[in-house]
Amino acid sequence: MTEKYDLGIVGGGPAGYTAALHAAAKGQKVILFEKEFIGGVCLNKGCIPTKSILKSSQLFSDFNNCESFGVFAEGVSFDWAKITERKNAVVERLRKGLLLAFKNAKIELVNAEAEILDAKTIKSEGNIYPCDKVLCCVGASPKVIKGLEFDHKFLISSDDILNLESLPKSLMIVGSGAIGIEWARIMSNLGVEVTLVELAKNLLPLADIEVSKRVERIFKTRGIKFYTETSVEKIDGHKITLTNGEIVEPEKVLVAVGRVPNVKEKIEGVIYLGDASGEIQLAHFGIKQAIEEIDGIKFEKNLTPSVVYGSPEIAWAGLKEQDLEPESYKKSVVLVSALGKAQCDGETEGFIKLLSQGDKIVGVHIVCEEASALMQQVLIAIQNGITPDKLKEICFAHPTYSEGIFESLFRL
């Protein structure tokens, strides 16, 4: 039996490490168990490494399409090993930063597997750790579906694709959520032939319908082949027959159909945060859950923002048009091509869309360069009930993408 802790946490992802740091800042004695690397899936196998690779792929694509700017780059190439090396360095740098933060906060970090026995007890490597409160932040794993079980060679997961030794010539992606869309963009940027298969009626099915349709248009323009309302019917070697009768023979298949919590059964009294909670599987949602639990700062779960990275970015928050009854709302849509900054940057694809009911903005949906930042501006207004008329009083800088928000206010 060891000494007692104020807070015991199993899992060191965004929810776990945020809870640990905030609790330690309040003077609590904290212990956190992480069997792999601090930072969880987001830092080590998800958000961060994917965005690092995405940036490299976008640079390569930009250099190959820069002549219209009067810039000529000959013999542009990329080194996948170097891209992977940079990705690993970014992850390692951020991981070291977290470890230093833990050390400075005097948080006890146990790099071992742990078992939650009950709401006040954790067991690890034969030792018992009594705690006043226990948080389960064990995350989630790639979902396995029948007929597409991972062999980690041909049928790969979002974990596997981060560690490819070389790029395939062709890739099929099953699922068009954020993971599927981002990897379709990465691989297409790097010259891989991509085919996307989605069971729903539209790509990116959780997005506003106009966003989904714009993504489909962008993919068609860029030569990314996709099939909607389609699934895999049969696999024979590397020959895949789809339910629409099409036959595809990719070098690899990325199965990206979601993730499932790493929780077999919930224990009474234990608090589940992040992906383990079975709610919204986004890092920032887990972070906000942790802050709410430790600091008591509540947040509007239904206003959790979503972002899909790449060019152009895709971001949204609040209600979607398909969520609303006809005639119950107003919408405004400003095309990005109308903005001076977009024309200067050559980033003219997309739109800024606001939805309102009465004198309140209830939804924001953006396909645009800097969409992740633009969406946040509107989200602040939505959550605080700031009316379109009040926002019109703000002076928006020119030329910026934010001007699109200003213009959209006058169309509601």
What amino acid occupies position 54?
A: L
The per-residue pLDDT for range 107-127, each reduced to its tens digit, is: 999 999 999 999 999 999 999
d(CA 117, CA 129): 10
8-state DSSP, 211: H
Largest CA distance in the chain: 70
The per-residue pLDDT for range 360-370, each reduced to its tens digit, is: 999 999 999 99
Q: What number is the average pLDDT over the span 307-330?
A: 96
pLDDT at 1: 52
The per-residue pLDDT for range 281-294, each reduced to its tens digit, is: 999 999 999 999 99
The per-residue pLDDT for range 188-210, each reduced to its tens digit, is: 999 999 999 999 999 999 999 99
Judge contact between 401 and 376, C-beta under 8 A: no
pLDDT of 263 over the 60 cut = yes
The per-residue pLDDT for range 159-173, each reduced to its tens digit, is: 999 999 999 999 999
Instruction: Enter the pTM of the model.
Output: 0.95
d(CA 207, CA 209): 6
pLDDT at 2: 65
- All structural domains of the chain: 5-140+260-295 (3.50.50.60), 144-257 (3.50.50.60), 312-409 (3.30.390.30)
In the block, tokens 């989630």 appear at 140
In this prediction, residue 3 has a pLDDT band, given cuts at 50, 70 and 90, of confident
What does the mean pLDDT of the chain come to? Answer: 97
In this prediction, residue 69 has a pLDDT band, given cuts at 50, 70 and 90, of very high
Give 253's strand partners: 155, 172
Give 289's contacts (C-beta < 8 A, 6+ positions apart).
Answer: 15, 273, 274, 277, 279
Give 366's strand partners: 315, 352
